[in-house]
Structure 1
Amino acid sequence: MKFLILLPGLLFFYLANTFAQDTLKKTKPITTNPIIYAETSIGAGLAGVQGFQFGLGLNYQLNKGLFTLRYIRLQDLSITVLPLAPVVFLPGIRNNGSLDEYALMYGLRLINGGHSFSFSAGISTNNRIINYKDDHNQSHSTESRYAGIPFEANFLLFKPTRQRIRIYDIIPVGKPTAFGGSIGLKLAGNVSQRSYLAMGLVFGMGYHKHY
């Protein structure tokens, strides 16, 4: 009988406590890290400008939209033969010029666990230098500046959960953190009067998702 008398009070206390917790969860914002990371890429030109490709990028994601600042350097190189004597030749590398690109892009980035896929496009300013020799074996150089439409597609792998930073990837230090590295593939290019397409590896460091 005493239990039946106390039951309404216990039920009221339970419901009030549950409502208060639910209200607190709804009103108190969940704090998490922003999605912002820097990256470095290395690769080679596939079409257009040939040679070694080096890139830097800064990325910020808002919802599923990705904002990117990108710099790419393409060094146009080729293998040549240097005669040292009538019958002695030495292989060498000829500098055919370079391309410097500064780009601002916006795109879509989709995250699933510990990997992501993104595609972006935008506007860029480009500086192209071409080195060549005339019929008299005299060296010349031309320089041109022009606008373009840069684009890129990225596939990244990163840690799926907060983890401690590891020295040499072995010794864990500190508390679990959202900050970490990434590795993946980058396909980059530019549509312009001197279009190109390049592909290579990309290495990132920062906050790659909401943890």
Structure 2
Amino acid sequence: MMSFLSVFGQKELDTIPFKSNSIYFGEMIISYSSGAVKGFSGGFSFNYQRKNNLFTFRFLETSRIYEADYFLVFFPYNVFSKSLKEYSFLIGKRYIKNEFAYHFSGGISKVNFKETQDDILVSNDDYIGFPLEIGINWFNPQKERFKIFGFIPVGKLTSFGASSGIKLYANIAKKSSVGLGLTIGLGNYKNYGK
């Protein structure tokens, strides 16, 4: 009886559960935008991937001074400026190939368009928009020790690392925009296994 129970009480070594890391990362973007406001843009995004489904929260801002008079070169007055802020939630697909990944997403956004003249608000309007995004980014193909300033390794092998990439984006709204930019980021970019 004892030998019968011990046979069924053994656990196979082959069935040890596989533990994988989650895929999540944050990115900063520097880009040029055209549309309701033309100029340099900056922003960030937070991303989470489940299977090949990508969920993204994105913030972008484009600001530009169109007219200004200057006192002693550095002190502008009589300034006319425009800014466009976008808060977006996107859902899309992301595909990973060794050390790079590409994605495409679409979603919904709130767009804030603001015009000021000498710190006086001329207009401040909110719109609903439909953001689109296509991007590619490169990252470490295998686990590595995290590197401070890119060259001082610390800690154990980790799936947490840095990336760089290119992103093409648009937002279709009453005040639309389109842009192309460079991204840098930190996070877990792929499932590295054990």
- TM-score of the aligned structures, taking structure 1 as reference length: 0.76
Residues matched between the structures, number:
181
For residues 174 and 83 of structure 1, the distance between their equivalents in structure 2, rounded to whole angstroms, comes to: 52
Matches within 5 A, 1:24-103: 24-25=13-14, 27-78=15-66, 80=67, 82=69, 95-103=80-88
For residues 95 and 113 of structure 1, the distance between their equivalents in structure 2, rounded to whole angstroms, comes to: 48
- TM-score of the aligned structures, taking structure 2 as reference length: 0.82
TM-superposed deviation, 1:172:
1.8
Identity of aligned residues (%): 33
Counterpart amino acid of residue 144 in structure 1? D
User: Which has the larger strand fraction?
Assistant: 2
Match of 2:138 among 129, 154, 157: 157
Alpha-carbon RMSD: 2.7
TM-superposed deviation, 1:28:
2.5
Aligned to 1:118: 103
For residues 150 and 209 of structure 1, the distance between their equivalents in structure 2, rounded to whole angstroms, comes to: 25
Unmatched tracts of structure 2, length 5 or more = 1-9
Aligned to 2:159: 178
* 1:176-208 per-position Cα deviation (integer Å, ceiling 9, x unaligned): 110001001111210011110011111110100
Counterpart amino acid of residue 91 in structure 2? Y
Aligned to 1:168: 149
Unmatched tracts of structure 1, length 5 or more = 1-19, 134-138
For residues 103 and 70 of structure 2, the distance between their equivalents in structure 1, rounded to whole angstroms, comes to: 48
* 1:42-77 per-position Cα deviation (integer Å, ceiling 9, x unaligned): 111133321121111110001111000111111133
User: Which has the larger helix fraction?
Assistant: 1
| Residues 114 and 121, structure 2, Cα contact 8 Å, conserved in 1 | no
